[in-house]
Structure 1
Amino acid sequence: MSTAGPDVDDAIRTLLLLMPRMVGRAKRLPVPAELHSLALAPRHLSLLACLLFDGESSVNELAERLEVAPTTVSLMVGELSRKGILERHEDPADRRRKLVSITAARRGAIDAWLGRSAQAWRVALEPLTAAERRTFVETLAAYERQLGGEGDPS
């Protein structure tokens, strides 16, 4: 590799080795004992992460951030509410609006679980410029789209 960076093939080789290790380590993050019996699925993690890092939100705001339909979020919120993970309450600024938040009883466990991953991303991304972070995020999104068959292969 040159000091300017790897060529495309070298970068691909490196990433093909790195990605499975990265996913494996993320999967090995221990689920707190108090959350084990709740049968949380991967789809729940993004929703919980949004609420953990962005705070209470409406179903529509969550749907926009997660890039899914509001009905999908509403179903997940209902499921997690029945498990005692989430709660809905009135928005004090607009009583017609309902906000979703993580229950106080589960917040610590969820923070301990997802916080480690967020901290690892923070350490990796903070040294980058805003433009480098944008390129990195856009690159991962393009990779994900290609794996899903959504992108133009050229």
Structure 2
Amino acid sequence: MPRLVGRAKRIPVPEPLRSFSLAPRHLSLLAYLLFDGPMTVNELAARLQIAPTTVSLLIGDLSRKGILERREDERDRRRRIVAIAADHEPAISAWLAPGAAAWRNALAPLTPDQRRLFVDTLLAYEAGVEAEGEGAHDPGTS
């Protein structure tokens, strides 16, 4: 797992996006929008498992930089739909699509049950790391 994380961190940000100071917190948001298409703030918050207000702050930051666009939902004008700006979609796709393709290739030979086991294992790992982080405390405060 550390090797995978290390490799992911070494994927360079494409030249057209370097001036935007994108951080890891932007990566997941951009990946959801790239692969799943435009969605609302609440949909993004649910997928990212963070508060809608936090997602709104991220979207505001990326919108001011011109990376994201917000528009009215044609079915419900009270809602806003968030999408990657057309000018930046090619660079974001070139940046994130290879990782998605690698996952598809790695998972393709597996049966549905094997894929489910793999995903469940990753989720269990994530939950374990989170639980350890929440249970950890500063020895100096005991």
2:117 corresponds in structure 1 to 135
Higher relative contact order (CA 8 A, sep 6+): 2
Q: Which SS does the other structure have where 1:40 is aligned?
A: coil
1:146 corresponds in structure 2 to 128
For structure 2, the 5+ residue unaligned runs are 134-142
Q: Report Cα offsets for 1:38-77 as digits up to 9, x if no partner.
A: 1111111110010001100000011111111111111110
Percent identity of equivalent pairs: 65
Q: How many pairs does the alignment contain?
A: 133
After the TM superposition, which parts of structure 1 deviate over 4 Å for at least 4 consecutive aligned residues? none
* Deviation of the 1:89 alpha carbon: 0.2
2:9 pairs with 1:27? yes
* Deviation of the 1:144 alpha carbon: 1.8
* Deviation of the 1:22 alpha carbon: 2.0
Aligned ranges for residues 55-94 of structure 1 at < 5 Å?
55-94=37-76
Cα distance in 1 for partners of 2:45, 2:72 equals: 18
Q: Report Cα offsets for 1:122-144 as digits up to 9, x if no partner.
A: 00111112221111111111112
For structure 1, the 5+ residue unaligned runs are 1-18
Alignment TM-score, normalising by the size of structure 1: 0.81
* Deviation of the 1:150 alpha carbon: 5.2
**Larger Rg computed on CA atoms:** 1
Cα distance in 2 for partners of 1:84, 1:31 equals: 16
Alignment TM-score, normalising by the size of structure 2: 0.87
> Cα RMSD (Å) of the superposition?
1.5
